[in-house]
Structure 1
């Protein structure tokens, strides 16, 4: 599956699970061999408000290279820096994190955009299914854990890209709708793309 380049900007409205908004800007990496993604999410979830700002560097295949994340809530301000070698080995704030071995993507709990990373990186053919474990960053405290998940490309009757998504640790599965740039258009119960 080939994808077109992402737009310069995209935005999602978060709904049902939380109320909020995410705005993202895409640009080619200064080296010209990948992408830099800047984003910000603000939300109210279970009576708690938070803001998560992030900058993610991706290689040409959309595999994560680095992520710098900051978060604010009533509990205070936090930051974390995440680095991967591209072979599934990770460091969080300079500390080797073996519990993330084998992960190739970062997945921010606060973000609908990060569901584009495994889809673009895997480039599945119709009917293909793949495991896509990710370094999962919690919105409230920026803690990082492993999240095992799967994606399977299916097409609707109009030929639109849909992916059966499952995250067994949360007992969650749904059908995600994507656009031709590999960005989520509809994440049932979580977010919908507004631009």
Structure 2
């Protein structure tokens, strides 16, 4: 049985000036809501909200990202292995993808940690729908994860193969430290 609970988490970006205030709620499902404010790694000011609705098993049902500085808005709805936008248009380029990575928050790094079945230190490539805050756009890309121990997972970037980082998580799998990227404060 899952107990209802609500937590507030604050992350500080480490490579650019940005702070994320995240509300993590668990009841009949999981909700991750965040407000991120700062400048991107390209020095572009931003203030964005994200809202993710997940099942209790960490399957994504819905994702929305909204700019608070203008009228840009993205909504994704997942039905089986297909994704749809806010108008109901089928986004075929994302068919089969189970995970979303919102670049402004380390919350979405918890998703592969919770969803993947790790076998020792064996690496796993996963497809993600990647949100780029610089362009306010989505693309499909691959990432690599492996389990180092119960609270440490290695992230490897395929686009930037020299970028490897060991992500530390708490007992619930929520990021506490993502070296070079985010630190919980």
What's the TM-score, normalizing by structure 1? 0.83
2:29 is the alignment partner of 1:39 = no
Aligned to 2:109, what secondary structure does the other structure show? helix
Which residue among 65, 69, 93 is the counterpart of 1:69? 65
Give the Cα–Cα distance (whole angstroms) in 1 for the partners of residues 6 and 111 of structure 2. 15
Give the Cα–Cα distance (whole angstroms) in 1 for the partners of residues 171 and 26 of structure 2. 18
Tell me if structure 1 keeps the 8 A contact 2:5–2:26.
no
1:19 counterpart residue number: 17
Give the Cα–Cα distance (whole angstroms) in 2 for the partners of residues 64 and 147 of structure 1. 17
Give the Cα–Cα distance (whole angstroms) in 2 for the partners of residues 96 and 79 of structure 1. 17
Number of equivalences: 180
Aligned to 1:132, what secondary structure does the other structure show? strand
Which shifted more, 127-136 or 180-189?
A: 127-136
Q: Offset at 1:141?
A: 3.9
Q: Offset at 1:173?
A: 2.3
- Flag as ranges the 4+ runs of structure 1 deviating above 6 A: none
Give the Cα–Cα distance (whole angstroms) in 2 for the partners of residues 5 and 138 of structure 1. 32
2:165 is the alignment partner of 1:167 = no
Give the Cα–Cα distance (whole angstroms) in 2 for the partners of residues 57 and 188 of structure 1. 27
Give the Cα–Cα distance (whole angstroms) in 2 for the partners of residues 104 and 125 of structure 1. 19
1:126 counterpart residue number: 120
Q: Using CA pairs below 8 Å that are at least 6 residues apart, which structure has the higher relative contact order?
A: 1
Give the Cα–Cα distance (whole angstroms) in 1 for the partners of residues 113 and 156 of structure 2. 13
Tell me if structure 1 keeps the 8 A contact 2:83–2:92.
yes
Structure 2 stretches lacking a partner, 5+ long: none
Aligned to 1:118, what secondary structure does the other structure show? helix
